[in-house]
Amino acid sequence: MQVKKFLLIGILLSLSSLGWTQSSQPRMIWGRVQSVSGQPLSGLHIRLQELQRSTRTDDQGLFSFPSIPSGTYTLHASGVGYRAYQQVLKFPRTDTLQLILSEQAQDLKNVTVSGKSEMKRVVQQGFSVEAIDAVRVQNRTIAMNRLLDQTMGLQVRETGGTGSDFTYSIHGLSGKAVKFFLDGIPMESFGSSYRINNLPINLVDRIEVYKGVTPIELGSDALGGAVNIIRRQDVNQYLDASYSIGSFRTHQAALNGRYRHPSSGFTWVGQASYSSSANTYKVWGPTIEIAGDDGRPLPNVGKLRRFNDDFQSINARFEVGFTQVKWADQLLLSLTGSNLEKGIQTGRTMAFVYGKVRYKESFLMPGLTFAKKNFLTQGLSVKASALFNRLTGMTIDTSSQKYNWLGKVIASNVNGELGGIRSQKSRYTFNDRTALVTLNATYSLAAHHTLRFNYTGQSTRRTGMDALATAEWTIPFREPQHLNKQISALSYELTSTKADKSLTLFAKHYHYSARTNLYDYQGSSQKQLIANYQHNQTWGFGLAARTFLTPTTLLKASTENATRLPEAAELLGDGNTILNAVNLKPERSFNVNTSLQKQYRWKLHQLDWSTGLFYRFTRDLIWLGEADLFGTARYENLNRIQSAGIETEARYRYNQWLSLTANVTYQDLRNKLKHTSTGARNIVYNDRLRNTPYLLANAEAEVTKRDFLQKGSSLSVYVSTHYVPQYFLGWPSLGARATKKVIPTQFVQDAGVNYTTPSRRYTLGLDCRNLGDRQVYDNYLLQKPGRFISLKIRYFISK
């Protein structure tokens, strides 16, 4: 209840603190910035000197300043690698400013290094990385999962509709091997109520996806890759509000704003979002069965609606402090909170249907962040953060009734629906207390020589209780369990004098200790609670290099010998469908990535093409095992897994109105364990890894029409498609092909249209996912929603 009050108060403060009012006839300066060749320039800084107001251009090169009083102003436009532009203008004016900036290039023998936006800087690192411009899609009703599922080499697998569980896979390595960060801060202890898919796209500037080797700045033990969400930070003051309504009684609202005093540097940032859905979409096919009076399944029951799958979450984050002052670039005190409640409709498959099982979760996290360039001495930059969070989750299984897929009661004498199998009701609650400390330091030893250090320490203590105190399966969860992780890393980067080549060498040290509980037999006829202690430390090494073969051709390569430590959710379980895994070992992997990027430009045409090769050899891969007869599962280790593959992507752009993108990834994952622990020959040696697709493909076309109906407005229409061929749930070599369990082929299309008014304050968008209303699965016998239509309105103002 306290968390909910905090969130509601925070939303009100977000609205009131900005203190903006809108006149009846708002006036605006707006324009477009492009290069000499006519290409739009994104990420450039635009400033009105007299008003001390600034903004940046979007991906179409557009910018705007609303609520401008009459007068004469000096407008500055600048960006790294471009000649500064300045223009004196009188306001009001009705025409659109057209700014043309020329490159301020340096001839580096055969290499010309020109201006880079922050996104270009990221993708031109030696690491295999994609940078996704979130600003481009902020007018769409699109969840973060769907946006990232379109990324080359990445697959997002969801268990259902809005608010459902999900896993990320990069080049075939999935689950917790992919780490998530918010502005470089690890999110693994943030729980399910404050996670990536619950963050509104409106507060995100860009998303960085590292595939395989990750830079030490993220302070990660990521094995398969990392996703780093960068929030918007470029404007001094703004207010962004949006609301969408969609199928299956889905509602989503987001509000975020920022205020900075121009002289004192006092800064206040507020973000809040709300999401809810009944998730009453129709399901059909295998396991969607209704028993007749004789106990046998009735034939042709048709399509039935889910009925205990509702979801509701509210999230808020508030920061206050100082930015861009003499003694600190950033000193912010933050408070993050979230609250979630949802129904649990099924177990690990839809063969188990529950009518009243519920899950609730609350999360509260205070924190402090400090950042300063040239800290104490010239050339030393530091960024440090300290976060302390409390996560409480409760699984409620107290019903005496059992339901079928019609939502009807078929039995009234069970001890809980999960307990109907375990014969015990449960109201299990767990509490996680986590302390997280990060430190990043960068020091320029000399020109072209950079030293970086990172430390990340995390300690989690879990306690649990069951108010009914009868469920045997919760006994291991009731006593305290601990997980401690520490990762230290050091890197050295050498850049050529011409800046066309770079080499990064790094080393990481991993330290891990844990206590878990097991309730089992130990030399007696009665079960006992057994404490299991684990301790491990190891080293990892790697390098990343890049070189420009020509001014528009970039070759990159990276390799790493890496370790990933188990997370709390894997080791300690989640208290409902995932059990704890007391004997889980850390993963170890040798990773190699190479890629080639090429850009072609001629007149109004631009083509960006990239292709990459990857190789992984993983020992003790942490993997969620198959569900048992009770619908529960636990994580386990797979000893030797080899993966290799190729990916390629092409992006074509014509002028400012047509954009085409297509990518495809082929990944071959094999079991390379020749002999089992008993010495016997492994019958699934060299099999493809079960429950993993071998091919991923995406494509999108977008058309933008400027000055549609009104001068200064814009209309955008997009169509996208996603394809994954059928793959086996089990090992391919076992069993007859006709009787194998499979995850069916996915071939799904999305479409949408959005319109932005001339003032650029208002946007109206209409989106449709799964146009063909196809039966879609990411996981075995866990059907996803059919056709989903949503309408979104957005209001944005900046100063």
For residue 363, give the nearest of 490, 174, 188, 136 by alpha carbon. 188
Report the SS3 class of residue 196. helix
The answer for residues whose C-beta is within 8 angstroms of residue 667's C-beta and 6 or more apart is 153, 171, 172, 643, 644, 645, 692, 693, 694, 695, 696
Per-residue model confidence (pLDDT) at position 716: 94
The whole-angstrom separation of Cα 184 and Cα 157 is 24
Q: Please check the confidence at residue 6 and state whether its pLDDT lies above 70.
A: no
The whole-angstrom separation of Cα 701 and Cα 704 is 10
Per-residue model confidence (pLDDT) at position 473: 63
Give per-residue pLDDT as tens, 658-689. Answer: 999 999 999 999 999 888 777 889 999 999 99
Above pLDDT 70, what percent of the chain? 89
Per-residue model confidence (pLDDT) at position 240: 92
Q: Please check the confidence at residue 422 and state whether its pLDDT lies above 60.
A: no
Q: In the chain, helix, strand, coil percent, each to 5?
A: 10, 55, 35
Q: What is the 3-state secondary structure (H, E, C) of 227-281?
A: EEEEECCCCCCEEEEEEEEECCCEEEEEEEEEEECCCCCEEEEEEEEEEEECCCC
pLDDT band (50, 70, 90) for residue 371: very high
Q: Are 713 and 758 contacting, i.e. CB atoms less than 8 angstroms apart? A: yes
Task: Label the pairing between strands 449-466 and 481-495.
Answer: antiparallel
**Cis peptide upstream of residue 551 (ω within 30 degrees of 0):** no
Give per-residue pLDDT as tens, 305-361. Answer: 999 999 999 999 999 999 989 999 999 999 999 999 999 999 878 988 999 999 999
Kindly report the average pLDDT of the chain as a whole number: 85
Residue 197 buriedness (CB in 10 A; 0-12 / 13-18 / 19+): buried
The whole-angstrom separation of Cα 301 and Cα 737 is 27
Q: Are 555 and 596 contacting, i.e. CB atoms less than 8 angstroms apart? A: yes
pLDDT band (50, 70, 90) for residue 114: very low
Report the SS3 class of residue 296. coil
**Length of the chain measured in residues:** 799
Q: Are 180 and 194 contacting, i.e. CB atoms less than 8 angstroms apart? A: no
The answer for residues whose C-beta is within 8 angstroms of residue 185's C-beta and 6 or more apart is 385, 387, 436, 438
**More confident of the two residues 368 and 620:** 368
For residue 97, give the nearest of 134, 48, 53 by alpha carbon. 48
Give per-residue pLDDT as tens, 56-69. Answer: 787 677 788 877 88
For 453-484, give one letter per residue: b (16+ CB within 10 A) or e: bbbbbbbbbbebebebebbebbbbbbeebbbb
Give per-residue pLDDT as tens, 529-551. Answer: 777 788 888 899 999 999 999 98
Per-residue model confidence (pLDDT) at position 548: 94
- Block residue for tokens 């205990």: 308
Give per-residue pLDDT as tens, 244-294. Answer: 999 999 999 999 999 988 889 999 999 999 999 999 999 999 889 898 877
Determine the average pLDDT of the residues in 461-467: 85
pLDDT band (50, 70, 90) for residue 523: low
Q: Please check the confidence at residue 20 and state whether its pLDDT lies above 60.
A: no
The whole-angstrom separation of Cα 467 and Cα 731 is 41
Give kind and range of the element (H or E) at residue 476. Answer: helix 475-478
Point out the least confidently predicted range of 23-27, 205-209, 314-318, 502-506.
23-27
Give per-residue pLDDT as tens, 123-154. Answer: 888 999 999 988 888 888 888 888 999 999 99
The answer for residues whose C-beta is within 8 angstroms of residue 255's C-beta and 6 or more apart is 11, 14, 15, 239, 240, 241, 242, 270, 271, 272, 273
Q: Are 590 and 616 contacting, i.e. CB atoms less than 8 angstroms apart? A: yes
Per-residue model confidence (pLDDT) at position 698: 98
pLDDT band (50, 70, 90) for residue 472: low
- Block residue for tokens 């290094």: 113
Q: Please check the confidence at residue 190 and state whether its pLDDT lies above 90.
A: no
Give kind and range of the element (H or E) at residue 120. Answer: helix 118-123
The whole-angstrom separation of Cα 213 and Cα 46 is 35
Q: Could you give the angle at the alpha carbon of 339 between the alpha carbons of 337 and 344, nearest 5°? A: 150
Spacing of C-alpha 22 from chain mean position? 35
Per-residue model confidence (pLDDT) at position 80: 63
Longest dimension (CA), the chain: 90
Per-residue model confidence (pLDDT) at position 635: 82
Q: Are 534 and 583 contacting, i.e. CB atoms less than 8 angstroms apart? A: no
Backbone angles phi, psi at 792, to 5 degrees: -130, 135
Point out the least confidently predicted range of 99-103, 194-198, 597-601, 683-687.
99-103
The single-letter code of the amino acid at 475 is I
Report the SS3 class of residue 127. coil
Point out the least confidently predicted range of 220-224, 388-392, 403-407, 628-632.
628-632
Q: Please check the confidence at residue 187 and state whether its pLDDT lies above 80.
A: yes
pLDDT band (50, 70, 90) for residue 439: very high
- Block residue for tokens 């202890």: 189
pTM as predicted: 0.83
Q: Please check the confidence at residue 436 and state whether its pLDDT lies above 90.
A: yes
Above pLDDT 90, what percent of the chain? 48
Give kind and range of the element (H or E) at residue 568. Answer: helix 568-572
Residue 278 buriedness (CB in 10 A; 0-12 / 13-18 / 19+): buried
For residue 493, give the nearest of 417, 431, 544 by alpha carbon. 544
Per-residue model confidence (pLDDT) at position 113: 36
Residue 392 buriedness (CB in 10 A; 0-12 / 13-18 / 19+): middle
Q: Please check the confidence at residue 7 and state whether its pLDDT lies above 60.
A: no
Which range of 498-507, 566-575, 651-660, 715-724 scores highest in mean pLDDT? It is 715-724
Give per-residue pLDDT as tens, 713-759. Answer: 899 999 999 999 999 999 999 988 888 999 999 999 999 999 999 87
Q: Could you give the angle at the alpha carbon of 35 between the alpha carbons of 31 and 36, nearest 5°? A: 120
Per-residue model confidence (pLDDT) at position 116: 46
Per-residue model confidence (pLDDT) at position 102: 74
For residue 103, give the nearest of 57, 165, 34 by alpha carbon. 34
Per-residue model confidence (pLDDT) at position 631: 59
The whole-angstrom separation of Cα 117 and Cα 234 is 13
User: Whole-angstrom distance between the N-terminal and C-terminal Cα of the chain?
Assistant: 36
Point out the least confidently predicted range of 383-387, 530-534, 618-622.
530-534
Q: Please check the confidence at residue 107 and state whether its pLDDT lies above 50.
A: no
Backbone angles phi, psi at 422, to 5 degrees: -85, -10
Residue 359, by phi and psi: left (phi above 0), alpha (psi -120 to 50) or beta?
beta
The whole-angstrom separation of Cα 616 and Cα 360 is 38
The whole-angstrom separation of Cα 587 and Cα 622 is 6
The whole-angstrom separation of Cα 447 and Cα 253 is 48
Strand partners, 158: 166
